[in-house]
Amino acid sequence: MTSAVPGVPASELSGGDLFAAWPSIVATLGALHQLDPRGCPFDRGLGQMLARARDVVARSAVNPDFLSETDRPVPPAMLLAQVESEIPACLEAEAHERVVCHGDATMPNLMVDPVTLRCTGFVDLGRMGTADPYVDFSLMLANAGEAWTSEAQARHAFETLFRELGIDRPDHGRLDFYLRLDPLTWG
**Residues acting as catalytic residues:** 104
DSSP designation for 43: B
Q: What is the DSSP letter of 107?
A: G
User: Which three-class secondary structure state does DSSP give residue 144?
Assistant: helix
- Answer for the pair 149, 15: CB distance below 8 angstroms, yes or no: yes
Neighbour-count burial of 167, counting CB atoms closer than 10 A to its CB (0-12 exposed, 13-18 middle, 19+ buried)? middle
Given a contact cutoff of 8 angstroms between Cβ atoms, the answer to whether 5 and 120 are in contact is yes
Question: Residues of 111-129 as b/e, b for ≥16 C-beta within 10 angstroms?
Answer: bbeeeebbbbbbbeeebbb
Residue 7, helix vs strand vs coil: coil
Q: Are 132 and 100 in contact (CB under 8 A)?
A: no
